[in-house]
Structure 1
Amino acid sequence: MARGSLGTTSWKTAFLLAVTSAKRVSELHALSVSPTCLRWKADSSGVTLWPNVAFLPKVLPPDHANQAIELAAYHPPPFESRVEERANLLCPVRALRLYLQGCGHFLGGNERGTIVGDLCSGILDGWRFDSVSAAAADQLFLLVSNQVLVSSVLHENFRFAGCSDSDGEDTYTLDGEVIWYADFIKKEGVIAVPPFVEPMTLPGGYEGAEAQLQVCRYNLNVTRTAMKDLPPEKDPPNSPVIYTEDDVELEQENTLICFVSGFYPAPVKVFWTKNGEKVTEGTSINIPLPNKDGSFQQISRLNFIPQQGDMYGCSVEHLALTEPLTRTWDVETAVPGVGPEVFCGVGLTIGLLGVAAGTFFLVKGNECS
């Protein structure tokens, strides 16, 4: 095993951990490489594994408490016979040590990494999960990404679930486009694919989102306690960008779009103004969506009727800002020009006069002859 590939080491470690601990898949995924969760015995005769403090099982008993996994070395050295040496090849403690040594460049000192992560998850549930958790003063988000290969084309399917004390979010996206989300205000799941796409359903989707919301809020409280002495990470949004959905025509209904990106944590608050006065009617904002770098983006819309000289503003508030970011947009449309029509009319008039004059002189010339 020490000379085997990292893939083989990963699969064997996952198998031995599952067999010797008799734990569920979710419990194995919760194991952490943090020094507070992974403790080796001084004589290398065993190891103690604690799950992440935020872990909750799917079935939560009233007296739930995370339990440590105690693993003892199986026939550790020195070996008294060849049989013992061969038996040590099935030692989960040895396998775990070799696995962590081989994965050192993947973990990169990240103390929040999981032991049974991307490399080992295939043997456990057949899916590849990339979990990124982030805790702030008032929010906790969990991002789950599945990559699926269909007809030799790689598609990226995201499930984004998050919560705060007063709000929640559960969204599915495919290749960056929202296909389903939970509306916790209307208490229903919403299919967000366009009409020309084949209809889809997600049976039990909203009920699952409601259950996930309760788990998320429990995890939020646990994480707040565990990270109470750590300063929350905050990144301000970039300057908002304003543009219209359609070409601007006076007195014709249109939509102003305010795009905000690069902020962390989510969400932002967006306010619209018209000629300096706050506007609420006809406004909307989408759910926060993750960017590749871990930050977020949101889009706010304002339905309006353009009138010459009106000025609109989009103001953004965020935890990382001391004052709102504001971007303005003026209604400016080109007044229809009269030049082309005038030139065309003058040219036509001159042409007709030329024809009339030519005809006149032609008639006079014939009379004189």
Structure 2
Amino acid sequence: MKTCSSGMKRLAFIILIINSFCVFSQIPHEFLVVAGCFENGTTESQFEFDSEEVLYVDFDREEVVYSMPRFVIDDPSTLFENLHVYKNARKHKKTCSAFVAICKAEEKNPPEEMDPPESILYPSNEVQFGVANILICFVNHFYPPGIKVSWTRNGHLVSEGVSLSRYYPNNDQTFHQFTTLTFTPKEGDIYSCTVEHLALDRPQTKIWEPDFRHRSLGPDVYCGVGLALGLLGVVAGTFLMVKGHRRQ
């Protein structure tokens, strides 16, 4: 099955549907091989089993990435070792790119519709002074899939501890992506996540800094109560000693 997307977004899909049967239950299942490509040269290829992704192809690293949970099977690659997944994905990529050119010609080359990204920046866990944490920059609702993300700490570019997920499709034909930064919160540090995209006139930057003004008072209150109880004990002990001495 081959389709061109509706509207101005030039997205081509090649979908191969294989109806298979489980050897244990004899219940029919649907196995899909999906290749999606875009005018900017980006290509996505993934395998789905009953609408759940089991693997995708990373063309940048030239490898197959298995997203099937490990509790299902220890080594998912054994299920696909005879299917030549990466080799076939490269064929689909070439075919899909050619199909994009056909879609473009059919539309008489109108400008491609683009959607600018929206981004938010937030910590993964509750922020505690000196305790390692993760900053998450969530970039959403952008099209075409192609963004550049950079991190800074106190105005200086940071690359260590940075990770970037692949693109994930939304139901409205846009995409979302995560990038994370591992860090240790310190007083006065300021972090930023900057996103660049074709639909943006200028880079989009979100800024975050740790806020320790509302640091938990639990330990301080505990120490204060302990000190107060200790002083009361000393006073009570002294009073009893003096009272007993007077009786003598």
TM (norm. structure 2) is: 0.75
The structure-2 alpha-carbon separation of the partners of 1:274 and 1:134, relative to structure 1 and needing over 3 Å to count, comes to: farther
Q: Measure, in 2, the Cα distance between the counterparts of 1:254 and 1:156.
A: 39
Q: Measure, in 1, the Cα distance between the counterparts of 2:131 and 2:64.
A: 33
Match of 1:161 in 2: 36
How many pairs align? 233
Equivalent position to 2:176, from 291, 297, 300: 297
How far the C-alpha of 1:317 sits from its partner, in A, is 1.7
Taking the TM superposition and a 5 Å limit, the aligned residue runs for 1:164-175 are 166-172=41-47
Q: Measure, in 1, the Cα distance between the counterparts of 2:52 and 2:128.
A: 29
Equivalent position to 1:223, from 94, 100, 103: 103
Report the 3-state secondary structure (helix = DSSP H, G, I; strand = E; otherwise coil) of the residue aligned with 2:134: strand
Q: Which has the higher strand share?
A: 2
- Return 271-280 or 222-231, whichever deviates more: 222-231
Work out which of the two has the higher radius of gyration on C-alpha atoms and give 1 or 2.
1
The structure-2 alpha-carbon separation of the partners of 1:132 and 1:308, relative to structure 1 and needing over 3 Å to count, comes to: farther
Q: Is 1:345 aligned with 2:224?
A: no
Equivalent position to 2:157, from 273, 278, 296: 278
Q: Measure, in 2, the Cα distance between the counterparts of 1:305 and 1:355.
A: 47
Structure 2 counterpart of 1:340, one-letter code: Y
CA deviation profile, 1:21-80 (whole Å, cap 9, x unmatched) = xxxxx5xxxxxxxxxxxxxxxxxxxxxxxxxxxx6xxxxxxxxxxxxxxxxxxxxxxxxx
The structure-2 alpha-carbon separation of the partners of 1:354 and 1:313, relative to structure 1 and needing over 3 Å to count, comes to: same
Report the 3-state secondary structure (helix = DSSP H, G, I; strand = E; otherwise coil) of the residue aligned with 2:113: coil
Q: Measure, in 2, the Cα distance between the counterparts of 1:157 and 1:364.
A: 95
CA deviation profile, 1:308-353 (whole Å, cap 9, x unmatched) = 2111111112222111221111023455753431232122211232
Taking the TM superposition and a 5 Å limit, the aligned residue runs for 1:30-49 are none
Match of 2:13 in 1: 142
Q: Is 1:354 aligned with 2:233?
A: no
The structure-2 alpha-carbon separation of the partners of 1:144 and 1:197, relative to structure 1 and needing over 3 Å to count, comes to: same
- Preserved contact between residue 37 and residue 100 of structure 2 (Cα < 8 Å): no
- Preserved contact between residue 8 and residue 110 of structure 2 (Cα < 8 Å): no
How far the C-alpha of 1:357 sits from its partner, in A, is 1.0
CA deviation profile, 1:187-224 (whole Å, cap 9, x unmatched) = 22111244444333333222221111111121122233
Q: Which has the higher contact order (CA 8 A, sep 6+)?
A: 2
How far the C-alpha of 1:243 sits from its partner, in A, is 1.8
Taking the TM superposition and a 5 Å limit, the aligned residue runs for 1:1-369 are 133=5, 140-142=11-13, 159=34, 161-163=36-38, 166-172=41-47, 179-199=54-74, 200-201=76-77, 202-203=80-81, 204-238=84-118, 240-333=119-212, 337=217, 338-365=220-247, 367=248
Q: Measure, in 2, the Cα distance between the counterparts of 1:167 and 1:194.
A: 26
Structure 1 counterpart of 2:112, one-letter code: P
The structure-2 alpha-carbon separation of the partners of 1:216 and 1:157, relative to structure 1 and needing over 3 Å to count, comes to: closer
Q: Measure, in 1, the Cα distance between the counterparts of 2:114 and 2:56.
A: 26
Question: Which structure 2 residue ranges, 5 or more long, are not aligned?
Answer: none
- Return 169-178 or 301-310, whichever deviates more: 169-178
How far the C-alpha of 1:298 sits from its partner, in A, is 0.9
Q: Measure, in 2, the Cα distance between the counterparts of 1:286 and 1:266.
A: 12
- Preserved contact between residue 31 and residue 49 of structure 2 (Cα < 8 Å): yes
Q: Measure, in 2, the Cα distance between the counterparts of 1:188 and 1:144.
A: 20
Report the 3-state secondary structure (helix = DSSP H, G, I; strand = E; otherwise coil) of the residue aligned with 2:87: helix
- Preserved contact between residue 135 and residue 220 of structure 1 (Cα < 8 Å): no
Q: Measure, in 2, the Cα distance between the counterparts of 1:187 and 1:197.
A: 25
How far the C-alpha of 1:234 sits from its partner, in A, is 1.4
Report the 3-state secondary structure (helix = DSSP H, G, I; strand = E; otherwise coil) of the residue aligned with 1:206: helix
The structure-2 alpha-carbon separation of the partners of 1:175 and 1:358, relative to structure 1 and needing over 3 Å to count, comes to: farther
- Preserved contact between residue 283 and residue 301 of structure 1 (Cα < 8 Å): yes
CA deviation profile, 1:222-252 (whole Å, cap 9, x unmatched) = 23333343231112222x1112233334444
Report the 3-state secondary structure (helix = DSSP H, G, I; strand = E; otherwise coil) of the residue aligned with 2:5: strand
- Preserved contact between residue 140 and residue 216 of structure 1 (Cα < 8 Å): no
How far the C-alpha of 1:178 sits from its partner, in A, is 5.2
Please provide the CA RMSD for this pair: 3.6
Question: Which structure 1 residue ranges, 5 or more long, are not aligned?
Answer: 1-25, 27-54, 56-130
The structure-2 alpha-carbon separation of the partners of 1:159 and 1:233, relative to structure 1 and needing over 3 Å to count, comes to: same
Report the 3-state secondary structure (helix = DSSP H, G, I; strand = E; otherwise coil) of the residue aligned with 1:265: coil
